[in-house]
Amino acid sequence: MGDSKPERLIDENGRRIDGRRPDELRPIKIEVGVLDKSDGSAYVEFGGTRVFAAVFGPREAHPKHLALPDRAILNCRYHMTSFSVEERKPLGMTRREVELSKVIREALETVTFLEEFPRASIDVYIEVIQADGGTRTTGLTAASLALADAGIPMADLIAAVAVGKVDGQLVLDLCDVEDKYGEADMPVAMAPRFNSIVLLQLNGRLTPSEFKKGLALAQKGISEIYKLQQEALKKRFSTSKPLEV
Amino acid sequence: MGDSKPERLIDENGRRIDGRRPDELRPIKIEVGVLDKSDGSAYVEFGGTRVFAAVFGPREAHPKHLALPDRAILNCRYHMTSFSVEERKPLGMTRREVELSKVIREALETVTFLEEFPRASIDVYIEVIQADGGTRTTGLTAASLALADAGIPMADLIAAVAVGKVDGQLVLDLCDVEDKYGEADMPVAMAPRFNSIVLLQLNGRLTPSEFKKGLALAQKGISEIYKLQQEALKKRFSTSKPLEV
Amino acid sequence: MGDSKPERLIDENGRRIDGRRPDELRPIKIEVGVLDKSDGSAYVEFGGTRVFAAVFGPREAHPKHLALPDRAILNCRYHMTSFSVEERKPLGMTRREVELSKVIREALETVTFLEEFPRASIDVYIEVIQADGGTRTTGLTAASLALADAGIPMADLIAAVAVGKVDGQLVLDLCDVEDKYGEADMPVAMAPRFNSIVLLQLNGRLTPSEFKKGLALAQKGISEIYKLQQEALKKRFSTSKPLEV
Amino acid sequence: MFLTSKKDLTARIMRDKIYNLLLQDKRIDGRHPKSLRSITIQTDLIAKADGSALVTMGGTKILTGIKVEVGSPFSDRPDEGIFTVNAELLPLASTSFEPGPPDERGVELARVVDRSLREGKALDLKKLCLVEGEKVYVLFIDIYVLDYDGNYFDPALISALAALATLKIPKYEVVNGEVKKTGETFRLELTSLPFTVMMGILGEKFLVDPQIEEEKVLDVSLIIGTDEKGNIVSIQKNTSGPIPVNLLDTILDTAVEKTEEIRKKFLQEVPVKLAAEGEAAEK
Amino acid sequence: MFLTSKKDLTARIMRDKIYNLLLQDKRIDGRHPKSLRSITIQTDLIAKADGSALVTMGGTKILTGIKVEVGSPFSDRPDEGIFTVNAELLPLASTSFEPGPPDERGVELARVVDRSLREGKALDLKKLCLVEGEKVYVLFIDIYVLDYDGNYFDPALISALAALATLKIPKYEVVNGEVKKTGETFRLELTSLPFTVMMGILGEKFLVDPQIEEEKVLDVSLIIGTDEKGNIVSIQKNTSGPIPVNLLDTILDTAVEKTEEIRKKFLQEVPVKLAAEGEAAEK
Amino acid sequence: MFLTSKKDLTARIMRDKIYNLLLQDKRIDGRHPKSLRSITIQTDLIAKADGSALVTMGGTKILTGIKVEVGSPFSDRPDEGIFTVNAELLPLASTSFEPGPPDERGVELARVVDRSLREGKALDLKKLCLVEGEKVYVLFIDIYVLDYDGNYFDPALISALAALATLKIPKYEVVNGEVKKTGETFRLELTSLPFTVMMGILGEKFLVDPQIEEEKVLDVSLIIGTDEKGNIVSIQKNTSGPIPVNLLDTILDTAVEKTEEIRKKFLQEVPVKLAAEGEAAEK
């Protein structure tokens, strides 16, 4: 699986390797409140990418000398299981996981009213159980739902998706093979109510005009995801059936 | 040494590889108060297994945020020197040492009046200098003596020994070769006054009836060890000559 | 470079591999106040050995439980860049760096009025960017200047140099090849005003009489270095032009 | 503690409540003292793993995945494959778990599962040899606790066995001493099905499979593993506290009975391929 | 934060000052919002490194050295050499850096430089292969921040490229599958010159290459890398805070312009050997 | 400190007491300033080690064991075996030692013992080569401080040398470039017997082999190693404080004298096999 580059990533009908159109999201599944022992949680699937997120807090910051007098600390750990990827990931945090934990945390900080909880900490844990492209955007989408589920006040939800360039064409919501053999991968996360970007990275090569088109494509995907998030939250607060993965 | 499996572990006369009968302990040597700089210490040999234990405390828990308001913390580190075993043990704590530190600590906690020392810590260090089977039970036997030597109030001493199954037969106080090539190794530690088990593990395969017989065998060994412990403590408090290993 | 032992390290005219006489220092360059963001700093070159030192503090000790009620803590880290040596040095602190950090710190503690800053810490960072022999003595020479630049009160500056034995002859200020293929390397640091040795190590083999001659040779070098240090400090306090490495 | 004292007031009240229920053969979640929580098992849910299983036991949820690699055998067992077990108590599962390398509880969990598989002879490691002394299969069995509502031991072993039972091992051919993937996979036969059950003791009473509120007030607990023939294959006393010797007989009988119940459930849910009797008997 | 609020009073005052200057196209150090700080580049200053460069950008000072070793290629790229980027934020550079292994900022810096070099196609890794599938050059690009006065990203990439441009790679001959140093060295051709520029946003205004006082009060910042053809080759939003979508067009145009300015400066200062156009175009 | 000030009151009182005794050539444990504590040496007490020794020097107790393995030589010394020295200051030895990886004191101890053995030319490493450039003996010399009553340096080196002197090295035969254990062992000849003595300075006086109470109040201390010919083979100033230059001559003379005393004791107690003079002289 994924061992060698497919001859073409987009066929003569403009269909992608998994049959999608360029501007089409993968099937998305969202459930909120899936883990009992955390204060808030969510499970999100974007195709083969599967992620749990859980939130603990606000609670007293620990150790105490890390507490801030005027706001809560937001900690975030993005982590993958060893078997979520093609080659077994070593135990412990890789440099990639350290970096992604940072940019995800910064995105979450942007929309969270941390000033309401001086001296507290809010801890966000993201666990990728299967990685098929877009794990950071899926993780961030899940994390913002888990924060909402925990009742942490936020200015907006965060919806996130990657856009990319594959066989010269801009596509929405890259899967793993497209990420690996494509020309660019650009994860984008937004606070849609504010039309603000809260996470942005580019790994690859785009012309400025491709960048602009790619961003528009991401915005389209984000508005779809945002709707699904709101539906999932509504469902959460009307019922609470157990999760089936 | 120990490189290949002996043809038989019990001979036609029912004697074990080192000449013992199945229900016979190895020669045991116990000395209490052998290390000057600790608050209590003991040295115990079970045949080729040689262990030091030392206790520090009760003393102020450090760092302070670990202190408990209603009782002392009991810390325990079971550690082996690199040359105590056949293949050089890497420096640092192996997973085995981490696990054994935990079960030994839990055994010690069971009999120690930790409630008498709020906010304090009691630190128990066990150092295996030669391993020939039964290091955890020997270490625990030594640690409870070191606690007594340090004047820490306890409901009872702990006496411990492993039983096992070798060539289909239950035997007391396994040596290394018996452990390695035998069918089961079951370390047992008790607080004899209470007829209570404070450590119990099984690594191997026993029928329920073998388990019961094995436990009875362990109890027999434990009552012998308990006597030796009491004698060693008496000797400690009447004299204090230097140790010869 | 430095791959194999030169046939001789001192030629028929008594000249060393780099043309120096046995009692001659390498060209020394000293600049004080070279790094903007620290409270004090210095850059020192002894031939190919190039070292930055920076000082932070006195500042509140952190974490607080490390603070001492009657004096400042002096922390010191001696560190080399990965490319400063022949074979790439692994990232992180080697055992050699740990040891040298200790002896350098002890030398600095000897002359610093730590009692004037209870509960504070003073942090000294030494970074070797190129190593060509004598990195600890060059680092210490730089660190004492950085402390002076930071306005930390000291009983004296520390001047330091290594002496060694090469092809049977005592020489001053070893370079890398002399250190590697010579018979002895003896780093010496002094507080010249007190005629006191504040760092002393020997790695190699000297007769007692060679030791005494070597020490005298070191003292000669140290008095030259001490002058250069004082000049550099004067220059620092009259001007402040940017550094060119 | 001195033997069974638990001084904290809230814990005391909860302990009394649980103990008083036990005296009437009842529990806070309505179970009988000897009833297990309900178990669900899903396998093959992680496509990137060679085997995987998500197991819930009441509110405790555990995901295990297995990756297969090729490596060198241990020198004293040149004709046997290798497996290693790791366990991570993920911080999203409980406020009592911290991020970072496995603490002593994670290490203990991994080692108890490892011992139960090994001494319970679940696998025939000789079937995992490719070239004697040179190349063998290495199975990385990685256990993640996703939600912790008490007793992670039993579901962890169930998930490890379910992942093993459904494991698809890449086939290799040996060409001039080198190994090459053929692209096909094969299933591993299990030679035995050891399961554990966690036992909690409170006063002179005991219960099986404690949930978290019970775990917090038990005098002591232990995990007992048995195989399908009723052999005991692993024991781990895993908390401080005394086990009264006179309770052990009943506890052991119950362990054999309850692990058999787990085994039946497992065989219903998981398409396990068991080795023929004759083979399984050897070692 | 909730989007752009910064509650600390001192920070607020400094923010207002910097913002008010920005409204007049001014900055606290006298620069125009779109002016870079002055850049100096020294190469070949560490004789023990195979390549090295000390770069200052205003008060930020960065030393990069490269060591070349011979190692095995990655199995999926048997004909390509390898490079790795490490970055250490040395504690002597700033009170905000701690001794110890790289924290998340050091990791981020290394990864942003790595991505910019890799996606900017600065190197032709196939030129770093010695024996396909067996032996390739491995370049260790190690970045040390010596003095930190804001924006370590741009000078770090400049110093990495300057060290690469002046790198002297030991030549090896292949004798019976073994490699042996010949004692000679060769220079690496660069196939592209990607540079980054850090952009800071404050309200509806933005500035380039923030110094430290500016960094502390920005609403948000991002680093944009481009190559000589005006392609965007890397982006990293590196702080919390919102990027208004409508500012991005102008920011991108400015990034292309300012990286071109850095490129010119670089070409003046560093004796870079560029691959012929044709070659550089491939991948 | 500023040179020799020690401000703590209790330390001051103890210092004065020890200093006043020194002025009368006396010490708190009744020794003369130039008297060593009594030394005991037991060897061969760890059967699983290839060599071992337990050494006490007064109340300080140190256990050293050596394991021998076969490994690859360093590329610049293809015909020499390897030894490494590790030291652990076990927490059971002193309240001032913590569990965990060696701190700077443990590292220093290991490195001082290592340097004393290496520069003191205790071993002929060429005798530890099996196949040049391929296989050599690797000796792991691991030192554990069991009880710490001051000065762990001197007994650590004694125990390392006693373990080396009684080391039983497994013999290997070389068959087609592969090495195989023959089951026999051989003894290592020592080529020299370097010992150290720790010197403590207080005011203008000094003493040898300080015990713990003395260590705490000394102005400064240093460890001096010498070989049997009176060469100085290692020096380590190991605490903060000044060494007055004018004291060094007498200190050195005493060091030579006291290490010779240790050497005599060692030769009485340990069945050491010394290389013939001629051989020992080479390097």
The predicted-structure confidence for B108-167, as pLDDT tens digits, reads as follows: 999 999 999 999 999 999 999 999 999 999 999 999 999 999 999 999 999 999 999 999
And the tokens for A76? 């975030």
Q: How far is E123 from chain C (nearest CA, A)?
A: 21
Q: Which of D231, D242, D253 sits opposite B205 (nearest CB)?
A: D231
pLDDT bin (cut points 50, 70, 90) of residue A3 is: low
First to last CA, chain D: 43
Q: Which of B18, B29, B35, B37 to mutate to test the interface with F (most CBs of F within 10 A)?
A: B37
Whole-prediction pTM: 0.95
D249 close to B (CB below 8 A):
yes
pLDDT for res F179 = 84
3-state SS record for chain F: CCCCCCCCHHHHHHHHHHHHHHHCCCCCCCCCCCCCCCEEEEECCCCCCCEEEEEEECCEEEEEEEEEEEECCCCCCCCCCEEEEEEEECHHHCCCCCCCCCCHHHHHHHHHHHHHHHHCCCECHHHHEEECCCEEEEEEEEEEEEECCCCCHHHHHHHHHHHHHCCEEEEEEEECCEEEEEEEEEECCECCCCEEEEEEEECCEEEECCCHHHHHHCCEEEEEEECCCCCEEEEEECCCCCEEHHHHHHHHHHHHHHHHHHHHHHHHHCCCCECCHHHHHCC
Q: Which of F1, F115, F230 sits opposite C203 (nearest CB)?
A: F115
How do residues A13-50 score in pLDDT, each as one tens digit? 999 999 999 999 999 999 999 999 999 999 999 999 99
Q: What is the mean pLDDT of residues D54-82?
A: 96
Pairing of strands E135-147, E82-89: parallel
Give chain B's mean pLDDT.
94
Is pLDDT of A245 > 80? no
Contact F48 B85 (CB under 8 A): yes
Q: Subunits with at least 3 CB pairs below 8 A relative to chain F?
A: B, C
Residue C126 belongs to what H/E stretch?
strand C120-130
First to last CA, chain E: 43
F66 close to B (CB below 8 A):
yes
How do residues E70-106 score in pLDDT, each as one tens digit? 999 998 899 999 999 999 999 999 999 999 988 999 9
Q: Which of E67, E99, E147 sits opposite C35 (nearest CB)?
A: E147
| Cα A197 to Cα A105, E19, E222, distances in angstroms | 14, 21, 11
Is pLDDT of C242 > 60? no
Q: Which of A79, A84, A88 to mutate to test the interface with D (most CBs of D within 10 A)?
A: A88
Greatest CA separation for chain D: 70
What is the torsional sign of CA B201, B207, B210, B216?
positive
Pair E168, E228: CB distance under 8 Å: no
Contact B202 D235 (CB under 8 A): yes
Pair E33, E39: CB distance under 8 Å: no
Contact E240 A107 (CB under 8 A): yes
Q: How far is CA A142 from the centre of its chain?
A: 6
Q: How far is C38 from chain F (nearest CA, A)?
A: 23
E69 close to C (CB below 8 A):
yes
pLDDT for res D283 = 37
pLDDT bin (cut points 50, 70, 90) of residue E2 is: low
| Chain F CA closest to residue C109 | F1
Is pLDDT of A151 > 50? yes
Chains D and A touch (3+ CB pairs under 8 A): yes
A38 close to D (CB below 8 A):
yes
Contact A205 E227 (CB under 8 A): yes
Q: Which residues of chain B does F147 touch, with a Cβ-Cβ cutoff of 8 Å? A: 35-37
A3 close to D (CB below 8 A):
no
Q: How far is A155 from chain E (nearest CA, A)?
A: 7
Pair E242, A198: CB distance under 8 Å: yes
pLDDT for res D280 = 42
Global ipTM: 0.94
Residues 100-159, chain C, touching E (beta carbon < 8 A): 123, 125, 127, 129-132
Long-range interactions of A58-61: CB distance < 8 A, separation 24+: A58/A117, A58/A120, A58/A121, A58/A122, A58/A152, A59/A120, A59/A121, A59/A122, A59/A123, A59/D95, A60/A119, A60/A120, A60/A121, A61/A119, A61/A120, A61/A121
Q: How far is E97 from chain A (nearest CA, A)?
A: 16
Is pLDDT of C194 > 60? yes
How do residues F73-98 score in pLDDT, each as one tens digit? 998 899 999 999 999 999 999 999 99
Question: Which residue has 């010496």 as its token pair?
Answer: C188
Is pLDDT of D281 > 80? no
How do residues D183-224 score in pLDDT, each as one tens digit? 999 999 999 999 999 999 999 999 999 999 999 999 999 999
What is the torsional sign of CA F228, F232, F234, F238?
positive
Contact C107 F240 (CB under 8 A): yes
Bond from prior residue into B63 cis (ω within 30 degrees of 0): yes
- % of chain F with per-residue pLDDT over 70: 95
Chains D and B touch (3+ CB pairs under 8 A): yes
Q: Which residues of chain A does E221 touch, with a Cβ-Cβ cutoff of 8 Å? A: none
Question: Which residue has 């010869």 as its token pair?
Answer: B244
Q: What is the mean pLDDT of residues D75-84?
A: 95
pLDDT for res A164 = 97
How do residues D133-167 score in pLDDT, each as one tens digit? 999 999 999 999 999 999 999 999 999 999 999 99
Pairing of strands B28-32, B40-46: antiparallel
Residues in chain C: 245
Q: Which residues of chain F does B47 touch, with a Cβ-Cβ cutoff of 8 Å? A: none
pLDDT for res C240 = 53
Give chain A's mean pLDDT.
94
- Count other C-beta atoms under 10 Å from residue D15's C-beta: 20
B60 close to F (CB below 8 A):
no
Pair E45, C245: CB distance under 8 Å: yes
Q: Which of E63, E101, E140 sits opposite C129 (nearest CB)?
A: E63
How do residues E140-160 score in pLDDT, each as one tens digit? 999 999 999 999 999 999 999
Q: How far is F87 from chain B (nearest CA, A)?
A: 10
A45 close to D (CB below 8 A):
no
C174 close to E (CB below 8 A):
no
Contact B99 D107 (CB under 8 A): yes
Q: Which residues of chain C does F236 touch, with a Cβ-Cβ cutoff of 8 Å? A: 103, 200-202
Q: How far is CA B144 from the centre of its chain?
A: 9
Cβ neighbours of residue F169 under 8 Å, at least 6 residues apart? Answer: F50, F68, F128, F137, F185, F186, F187, F188
Q: How far is C83 from chain E (nearest CA, A)?
A: 5
pLDDT for res E279 = 47
- Count other C-beta atoms under 10 Å from residue E41's C-beta: 21
Q: Which of D233, D237, D249 sits opposite B103 (nearest CB)?
A: D237
Count Cα atoms within 13 angstroms, Cβ side, for D21.
Answer: 15
pLDDT for res A7 = 86
**DSSP annotation of A12:** T
Q: What is the mean pLDDT of residues F105-127?
A: 97
Q: How far is E37 from chain A (nearest CA, A)?
A: 25
pLDDT for res A244 = 47
Domains of chain F, start order: 18-281 (3.30.230.70)
Q: How far is C63 from chain F (nearest CA, A)?
A: 18
pLDDT bin (cut points 50, 70, 90) of residue F278 is: very low
| Chain A CA closest to residue D102 | A92
| Chain E CA closest to residue C41 | E92
E145 close to C (CB below 8 A):
no
Is pLDDT of F209 > 60? yes
Contact C37 E59 (CB under 8 A): yes
Q: Which of C115, C196, C206 sits opposite F243 (nearest CB)?
A: C196
How do residues A194-220 score in pLDDT, each as one tens digit? 999 999 999 999 999 999 999 999 999
C226 close to E (CB below 8 A):
no
Pairing of strands D178-187, D168-175: antiparallel
Chains B and E touch (3+ CB pairs under 8 A): no
How do residues B200-224 score in pLDDT, each as one tens digit? 999 999 999 999 999 999 999 999 9
Pair D53, D159: CB distance under 8 Å: yes
Compute the distance between CA of residue B169 and CA of residue E8 in angstroms, rounded to an integer: 75
- Count other C-beta atoms under 10 Å from residue A100's C-beta: 29
Q: Which of D1, D5, D232 sits opposite B206 (nearest CB)?
A: D232
Phi, psi (rounded to 5 degrees) for C190: -135, 155
B15 close to D (CB below 8 A):
no
Q: What is the mean pLDDT of residues D61-79?
A: 96
pLDDT for res F5 = 57
Q: Which residues of chain D does B208 touch, with a Cβ-Cβ cutoff of 8 Å? A: 230, 232, 252-253, 256
Give chain F's mean pLDDT.
93
Contact A84 D88 (CB under 8 A): no
Residues in chain D: 283
pLDDT for res F2 = 54
| Chain E CA closest to residue C245 | E45
Contact C206 F231 (CB under 8 A): yes
Chains F and E touch (3+ CB pairs under 8 A): no
Give chain E's mean pLDDT.
93
| Chain D CA closest to residue A42 | D92
